[in-house]
Chain A
Amino acid sequence: MTRSDNRSISVTLAAATCSLLGGGIPAPVDAQEEPAWDFNTSLLYYGEDDDRVKDYSVSAIARRMFVDDRFLTIGLTVDVLTGATPNGAIKQDVPQTFTRPSGDGAYTVAAGELPLDDTFKDTRAAFTVSWQQPVGETSLINIGASASREYDYTHIGLNAKFARDFNRRNTTLSAGIALSMDSLDPVGGAPTPLTPMLDVGDKSNRRGDEDKDVLDIVVGVTQVVSRNLIVQANYSYSNSDGYLTDPYKVLSLVDSTTGDTLPRVPAPGAEGPSHQFLFENRPDDRTKHSIYGQAKYYMNGKVLDASYRFMTDDWEIDSHTVDLRYRIPFGADRYFEPHLRFYTQTEAEFYMLSISDSQPLPSFASADYRLGDFDAITLGIKYGWKTRNDNEMSVRVEGYRQTGSIPGNQIIGNQATRDNYPDLNAIIVQLGYRF
């Protein structure tokens, strides 16, 4: 039989079926084999202005579906980070020279410039795997593991989550636990805290590896309130124990009257810091408590997703986060989703702009801008659409602006004339493809 003969069979059969069944012709069939794997991939660019951090990230999450709602999920993310990051020292009216973290070289920052360490380059690979399955009729268990590796940092983690539905599946209670065992192998060795930055080649205050353990516990409730509204509330506890200091961050040791960084002369013939800088030190324990509430409200195809988080910790950082997303569909398979996020935090109790030479050396000190008092706002939009083969594409563009301030009582002498906490602006562009 030829091809055309074969083809005529289904045509003749369709006509015969029509006369057998008579009447209306049903809609054309739409069936496909359930994909055994589905993939969620994304490309992300995060770029801070003023040649600060840039992150190019590729990630893929593969999910294998098994019968009875069992899932295996595997994720892989590779980040390539470049650019410069503030090293913690304050601006000066003269150029400043620093020894690189490796201890094998030096870099100089121009007068009036915020000192940035431009050796910040890293590639990070992270891997996650998890297994989820129902337990009985109303419960669900998820167990997972994670690992990541970058040149100076290794993470290994385990996690488990249990959820149970009540009240005709309108209420879900969940509890989760995650353990993380991280080790740091800082370039050039972790410096002894609160010791001076030394000349190039002098590694007498460098130590070896460090590690930290993190325990996270979360309990939550999700409630279907009505056909249109679902709300969720969580409490989470997090304890970090071990080396929590940033080995690459320093503080400027300043004159108690002028506020200028004390000068320093490298050893004869040696290259080294032009001023006195002390490596930072943070407590080796941090406990955070946070509460989180989220509401998703559906109205005529539009979805408003609003959430709020309050976090407080024993470093005396309190933070508030408000996150709003509004998904607006148009047509059958396109949508816009504007996003607004506001964040504010108080400074850590040991945060200080600089260390004054008249005060006794504090036990803990950090000038890391991320531990300071700041506000941040993120404004963005996401556009998503369905491709012809029923896959999903999305583009997200967001702007981030962080503005910080230094408490007045920490500003000494000439420091008042300088912008000690410059604004940080970043843009985020993400392309997502789901198939």
Chain B
Amino acid sequence: MGSPCELICEARKRADALELSALVAAEAWRIEDKFSRYLDDNIVARINSAAGRPVDVDEETAALLDFAVTLYDLSERRFDITSGVLRRIWRFDGGDQVPSRQSVEDMLSLVGWHRVDWRRPELQMPGGMEIDLGGIGKEYAVDRCAALLREQGGSPCLINFGGDLVATEPPLRRRRWKAAVEGDEPDVPNRIIDLKIGALATSGDARRFLLKDGVRYSHILDPRTGWPVPDAPRSITIAADTCVQAGMISTLGMLKGAQAENFLSTQGVVFWCRR
């Protein structure tokens, strides 16, 4: 998942806590192994290396692809799981290396879900294109783990995968979990959110940006242009029933750029937007 993953649980016995953490770890590793784009023997690698040939996918992958299609439509093509290749030319390391217009144009020929032929369970994609489920995977993993914990019943748990989190129950003694949302400085909370139950997800990373000629480029790329979304907030934190919903609404909000707050305020969600 590319970030620290933790489980905090209030169990009656040490053995129960160990059992729950083993359950969560196993599920997190399963999803990581299956969908990570950094591995070369999973379904994502098979799709990305198919070089134009059709690939049959399993039920779970198909469900994630269907979900990605819904987001693609909802976002008017701003949320696109084929946009990962743009990272080859955009490196958000705080420096000033802005790619040339030409290289962005060239790369855009490899971006666009509309170029993909998806007929569940078969996916056919032009050679050179890649899909990346990283924009959904972490939130999906958190919700999957939360569902497993709920099936076990009882112990209140907080799952935190790199800032995407779910509380299955309120903690026993205190009434709420306390989640600190990081600001510009690492480990310095910008705000503290009391979470009784449900999910929180944050999009945006104040440390990932480019600065050239006084223009700050956020790391949120618009796959339609290949350029960073102008005037995107520094971060958006969303509270929702599931981590997937929280994560997707915060991502959609970021993609709205200057209109983020207007968009979020019509979604009926609890949100915190930082400029």
Contacts and interface: CB of A to CB of B under 8 A. Distances in A.
Given A20-B244, A26-B146, A29-B240, A13 B195 contact: no
A29 B198 CA distance: 4
B111 interface: no
Given A26-B146, A30-B198, A34-B193, A7 B268 contact: yes
Interface in A7-41: 7, 9-10, 12-14, 16-17, 19-21, 23-34
B18 interface: no
Contacts of B269: 10
A12 B74 contact: yes
B155 interface: no
Nearest to B139: A17
Contacts of A3: 266
B194 A21 contact: no
Interface of A: 3, 6-7, 9-10, 12-14, 16-17, 19-21, 23-34, 65, 67
A33 B191 contact: yes
B133 to A, nearest CB: 12
Contacts of B29: none
Given A6-B267, A26-B241, A32-B194, A16 B147 contact: no
Given A27-B197, A30-B196, A31-B193, A20 B239 contact: no
Nearest to A3: B266
A23 to B, nearest CB: 6
A31 B268 CA distance: 13
A7 B143 CA distance: 23
19 contacts: A3-B266, A6-B266, A9-B74, A10-B249, A13-B70, A16-B70, A17-B67, A17-B242, A17-B245, A20-B66, A24-B150, A26-B146, A29-B198, A30-B196, A31-B195, A33-B193, A33-B194, A34-B191, A67-B189
B90 to A, nearest CB: 27
A67 B192 CA distance: 8
Given A9-B252, A34-B194, A19 B147 contact: no
Contacts of A29: 195, 197-199, 239-241, 246, 270
B192 to A, nearest CB: 4
- Per CB-CB distance, the 10 closest pairs between chain A and chain B, nearest first, are A29-B198, A31-B239, A30-B196, A6-B266, A34-B192, A16-B70, A10-B267, A20-B67, A31-B195, A17-B244
Contact of A34 (B178, B200, B248): B178
B8 interface: no
B89 interface: no
A25 B144 CA distance: 12
A391 to B, nearest CB: 14
Given A10-B249, A25-B241, A67-B192, A31 B200 contact: yes
Interface in B48-75: 63-64, 66-67, 70-71, 74
A6 B246 CA distance: 15
Interface in B199-240: 199-200, 239-240
B237 to A, nearest CB: 9
Contacts of B192: 33-34, 65, 67
